[in-house]
Amino acid sequence: MKVLNSNSKNFYKSLDTLLLRRKNKIQSNLISVTKIIKDVKKNGDKAILKYEKRFNKNNVIVPTSRQIKSSTKLLDKKVKQAIDAAYNRIYKFHSLQKFKDISYTDKYKNRVNYRHVPLESVAIYVPGSTASYPSTVLMSAIPALVAGVKRIVMVNPGYKGKQNPAVLYAARKCKIKEIYSIGGPSAIAAVAYGTKKIKPVNKIVGPGNSYVATAKKEVFGDIGIESMTAGPSEVLIVADKNSNPEWIASDLIGQAEHDPLTQCILISKDKKILEQTKNVIVRQLKEIPRSSIAKKSLITNGILMFVNSDKKIIEITNKIGPEHLELNLKNYKSLVLKIKNAGSICLGKYAVMAMTDYGVPGTNHILPTNMSSKYSSGLSVSEFVKKISYINLSKKGIESLGQSVITLANYEGLAGHAQSVKKRIRRK
């Protein structure tokens, strides 16, 4: 992990360099992603199958209901119960996000309505292949269910013709009827533009690696994507002298094991905590199956920062705008309200990021990454709802208010606009 000291003369330059280097790596996939998207648009299912065989050793695009049923049947009962429990908590919290329609009538009897309309179809991208994320199924699909989306499609890369049974169980729990065993940029292109086997959707949501994130940006405009960059993952932990290095190290490793491009950052005013945590990481890395991924992530993108003041900690945190922020502090209340840029914030020593990842609080773990928390929020019901205005003007209303429209239209040089109002106003 890189070590930075806020007292250093070139501190901010060094920090910018590290952040930009990771961002450039994410964006460097553009050429290959564009090529894949063009191939799928032109060759459809044939192209998808080609990429599935190449990247996932998979020759199954559409698993049968029998395959899904037999796969989920063998799933451990405890895993099913855990998914059920998470489903209930996530659904309950997201149900609180429902919107109320607005209806307004003014003194001229002009009526204005503002109605929330669910999207007709969405695709949720669930990372897979050698990993499994049933939690992501729940986080993506439940807000869509609450919003009232009728058609929810799941794309999830299988491996050697098989998808993870827990992912399939979560999909069935969320009443998803369309499941495709595909992944990567080709999956994004498939649901964006459609093939013989796959009908296109109106919007794609869900996290993914740098290739998936790039692909989603490329198809945006033809279809919608969530209003953020979702992936690769990030965590920033702020620790003090009271923090437990064993806990902090495990939190960093727990995030790092996602992806080699994951970014894990630890900030503290206590140099001892930084040094102790660094040493513990080395030992703990030996204890996890995905140690090679976590190690690469920490070496390439990990940062240990000594920062000598709360003011600078707040400034740096807002600059980075991390996906996950852990304020592992005894006195987090003095900082939390001053932090404006973060996907989610865990407060205190027990609010570990891993708990939020699995739906225990009910909040969503699909969050803005790559500094996009500066302008966006985590996945919610609002991502699956459109807002439509309905305007009904009365005769009295246009006669009373039309002159101001005529004045503004003429000022802007739009005489046709002015004329269309003039013709409706009663002449005296």
- Closest by CA to 369, choosing from 207, 129, 194, is 207
Position 296 scores a pLDDT of 96
Distances (CA, A) of 92 to 87, 95, 257: 8, 5, 29
Residues 73 and 214 in one domain: yes
Residue 38 placed within a domain:
no
Question: Is 223 in the same domain as 245?
Answer: no
Q: Which two structure tokens, joined as six digits, stand for 386?
A: 């459109």
Residue 336 CA, distance from chain mean position: 22
**Shared-domain flag, residues 206 and 354:** no
**pLDDT by residue (tens digit) across 231-258?**
688 999 999 999 999 999 999 999 999 8
Pair 113, 78 in one domain: yes
Claim to verify: residue 95 and residue 208 sit in the same structural domain:
yes
Output the domain CATH number for residue 147. 3.40.50.1980
Residues 199 and 107 in one domain: yes
Cis, peptide link before residue 368, omega less than 30° from 0: no
> Over the range 181-219, which residues count as b (16 or more CB within 10 Å of their CB) and which as e?
bbbbbbbbbbbbbebeebebbbbbbbbbbbbbbbbbebb
Tens of pLDDT, residues 67-83: 999 999 999 999 999 99
Question: Domain range spanning residue 131?
Answer: 44-227+381-385
Domain co-membership, 8 together with 71 = no
For residues 51 and 58, is the Cβ–Cβ distance under 8 A?
Answer: no
Q: Please, which residues have CB within 8 angstroms of residue 402's CB and are 6 or more apart in sequence?
A: 421, 422, 424, 425
Asked if 405 and 315 sit in the same domain, the reply is no
> How many residues belong to the chain?
428
What pLDDT is stored for residue 395 in this prediction? 93
Per-residue confidence (pLDDT) for residue 159, from 0 to 100:
84
Please work out, in degrees rounded to the nearest 5, the angle formed at the alpha carbon of residue 235 by the alpha carbons of 229 and 241.
155
Q: How far is CA 290 from CA 254, 286, 287, 295, 320, in A?
A: 10, 9, 9, 9, 26
Instruction: Give the span between the Cα atoms of 204 and 50, in whole angstroms.
Output: 22
Query: pLDDT tens string for the chain (428 positions)?
Result: 999 999 999 999 999 999 888 877 766 677 799 999 999 999 999 999 999 999 989 998 999 999 999 999 999 999 999 999 999 999 999 999 999 999 999 999 999 999 999 999 999 999 987 678 999 999 999 999 999 999 999 999 988 878 999 999 999 999 999 999 999 999 999 999 999 999 999 999 998 888 898 899 999 999 999 988 776 889 999 999 999 999 999 999 999 998 899 999 999 999 999 999 999 999 999 999 999 999 999 999 999 999 999 999 999 999 999 999 999 999 999 999 999 999 999 999 898 888 888 888 899 999 998 899 999 999 999 999 999 999 999 999 999 999 999 999 999 999 999 999 999 997 64
Catalytic residue among 116, 258, 324, 365: 324
Whether residue 275 is found in the same domain as residue 322: yes
Determine the residue type at 19: L
Residue 316's pLDDT is what? 97
- For this structure, is 365 an active site residue? no
Q: Is residue 109, in this structure, part of any structural domain at all?
A: yes
The DSSP call for residue 99 is P
162 in the same domain as 217: yes
Q: What pLDDT does 30 receive?
A: 76
Q: Sign of the C-alpha dihedral, residues 273, 278, 284, 290?
A: positive
Max Cα distance, the chain (Å): 89
Q: How confident is the model at residue 427, as a pLDDT?
A: 62
Residue 77 contacts by C-beta under 8 Å, 6 or more apart in sequence?
none
pLDDT at residue 360, rounded to an integer: 82
Structurally, the chain folds into a number of domains equal to 3
> Are residues 256 and 165 part of one domain?
no
Which of these is catalytic: 52, 218, 226, 323? 323
Pairing label, strands 111-118, 102-105:
antiparallel
323 flagged as catalytic: yes
In a domain, 32, yes or no: no
Q: Please tell me whether residues 237 and 213 are part of one structural domain.
A: no
